[in-house]
């Protein structure tokens, strides 16, 4: 019998302190502690890139957390995601999160919006629990076709041309 694939959570955004990526990485550790086989791809670049890499290393999540510089190939990563995670600390909404939620992809977000699983900022335990409940039931659904509006919003948010 073949083992089921890991669930995949993805965040796409500029890696600044405002994104709250450290809280998201700690949340992934909490979700994994709840028994969910979860991987986490962070698609973005910026001044907090090294901090994200160190946080993953410090928590023993190398090979689980990947920090990927953005380019047009990120669209494929997002299409493979079981859950999109938006851990923003400032209340700034994500057009990518809204578009993905509209397409039926689960979104865990610190910004309340229609169709998302809301968690308060700076609460990695609750965020991890929400990730565990959402991602724990998903095992690589059929590849999703992202609409052109979603692709454009995501690429614009990441600064890709």
In a domain, 100, yes or no: yes
CATH of the domain at 57: 3.40.50.2000
In a domain, residue 2? The reply is no
Q: Which residues contact 14 (CB under 8 A, 6 or more apart)?
A: 44, 45, 46, 158, 159
- pLDDT by position in tens, the chain (length 161): 224 468 999 998 899 999 999 999 999 999 999 999 999 999 999 999 999 999 999 999 999 999 998 887 777 777 788 899 999 999 988 887 887 887 778 999 999 988 899 999 999 999 999 999 998 775 444 345 565 666 677 777 777 65
In a domain, 1, yes or no: no
**CA dist., res. 28 & res. 36, Å (int):** 9
Number of domains observed in the structure of the chain: 1
Q: Taking the model in full, what pTM does it have? A: 0.86
Domain ranges, residue 71: 7-158
Nearest to 21 by CA among 99, 112, 122: 122
Q: In the prediction, which pLDDT does 146 show?
A: 60
């Amino acid at each position: 019998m073949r083992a089921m694939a890991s669930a995949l959570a993805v965040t796409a955004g500029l890696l600044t302190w405002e994104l709250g990526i450290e809280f998201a990485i700690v949340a992934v550790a909490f979700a994994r502690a709840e028994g969910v086989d979860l991987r986490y791809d962070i698609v973005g670049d910026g001044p907090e890139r090294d901090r994200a890499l160190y946080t993953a290393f410090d928590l023993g999540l190398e090979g689980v957390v990947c920090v990927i510089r953005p380019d047009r190939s990120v669209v494929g990563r997002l299409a493979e995601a079981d859950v999109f995670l938006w851990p923003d600390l400032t209340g700034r909404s994500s057009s990518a999160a809204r578009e993905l939620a509209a397409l039926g992809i689960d979104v865990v977000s610190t910004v309340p919006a229609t169709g998302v699983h809301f968690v308060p900022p700076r609460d990695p335990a609750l965020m991890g629990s929400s990730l565990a409940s959402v991602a724990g039931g998903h095992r690589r659904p059929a590849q999703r076709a992202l609409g052109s509006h979603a692709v454009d919003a995501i690429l614009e948010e990441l600064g890709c041309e």
